[in-house]
């Protein structure tokens, strides 16, 4: 299952942030996330896996919460991530707003705890999703902890701002290797995907491939 609100134009971005804690902030469109999710869906279908993709308006907070998430081994969310290190439960993933559903379009960390997952992997293809507040005896409080609590076995997150085209290339290489491996350990497949970018002409710099880390519960 994959979500990408994309936010192709200014009006969509303004609508998406109007009711969130980030109203008035400059939110950039993410056109590469549409390609990322569409190509991932095609890759899974070619390998005889059922897929469900939600793009633009269909990639809403309400739709994600109401989905039968327990049925999917993989949950992939490609969007903007916002981190509140002082109050980790207020960090969130920006999804498409749906005023009729009473949601603000921001899937907050505090709401993730209420999801019911049964996934091998949750991928948060967004900026700084691995950052959070460090609590004594608790570790890092943020997206990773919330998704593991909700039932994910592994979470792929980023440690800083990411570039959307390079991220799309990394994700496609990562999943392609997962699907080609009968019993993937995911860490090796992520390493191989990073090596592909290192050996490329455009994305060899660590800025493009090193922010993503895999965390297992």
pLDDT in tens, 119-162: 999 999 998 888 766 554 455 668 999 999 999 999 999 998 89
Q: Report yes or no on 172 lying in a domain.
A: no
Provide the domain count of the chain: 1
Q: Report yes or no on 217 lying in a domain.
A: no
Q: Report yes or no on 104 lying in a domain.
A: yes
Q: Report yes or no on 143 lying in a domain.
A: yes
212-216 and 154-158 beta bridge pairing: antiparallel
Tens digit of pLDDT for each residue in 24-62? 555 678 889 999 999 999 999 999 999 999 999 899 999
pTM of the predicted protein model: 0.90
> Which residue segment(s) compose the domain that 76 sits in?
2-160
Number of Cβ within a 10 Å radius of residue 98: 16
Indicate the SS3 state at residue 17: helix
Q: Report yes or no on 144 lying in a domain.
A: yes
Mean pLDDT across the chain: 87
Which phi and psi angles does 99 have, rounded to 5°? -65, -25
Q: Report yes or no on 149 lying in a domain.
A: yes
Q: Report yes or no on 179 lying in a domain.
A: no
Q: Report yes or no on 25 lying in a domain.
A: yes
Distance, CA of 101 to CA of 13 (rounded, Å): 18
Q: Give the model's confidence band at 108: pLDDT under 50 very low, under 70 low, under 90 confident, else very high.
A: very high
């Amino acid at each position: 299952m994959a979500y990408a609100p994309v936010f192709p134009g200014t009006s969509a971005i303004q609508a998406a942030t109007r009711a969130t804690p980030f109203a008035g902030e400059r939110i950039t469109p993410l056109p590469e996330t549409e390609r990322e999710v569409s190509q991932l869906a095609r890759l899974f279908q070619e390998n005889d896996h059922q897929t469900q993709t939600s793009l633009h308006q269909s990639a809403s907070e309400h739709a994600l919460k109401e989905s039968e998430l327990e049925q999917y081994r993989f949950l992939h969310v490609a969007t903007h991530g916002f981190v509140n290190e002082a109050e980790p439960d207020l960090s969130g993933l920006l999804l498409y707003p749906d005023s009729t559903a009473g949601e603000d379009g921001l899937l907050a960390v505090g709401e993730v705890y209420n999801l019911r997952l049964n996934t091998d992997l949750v991928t948060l293809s967004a900026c700084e999703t691995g950052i959070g507040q460090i609590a004594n005896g608790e570790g890092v409080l943020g997206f990773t902890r919330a998704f593991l609590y909700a039932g994910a076995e592994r979470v792929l997150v980023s440690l800083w701002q990411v570039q959307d085209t390079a991220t799309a290339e990394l994700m496609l290489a990562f999943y392609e290797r997962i699907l080609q491996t009968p019993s993937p350990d995911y860490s090796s497949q992520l390493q191989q995907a990073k090596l592909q970018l290192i050996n490329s002409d455009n994305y060899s710099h660590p800025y493009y491939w090193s922010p993503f880390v895999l965390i297992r519960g």
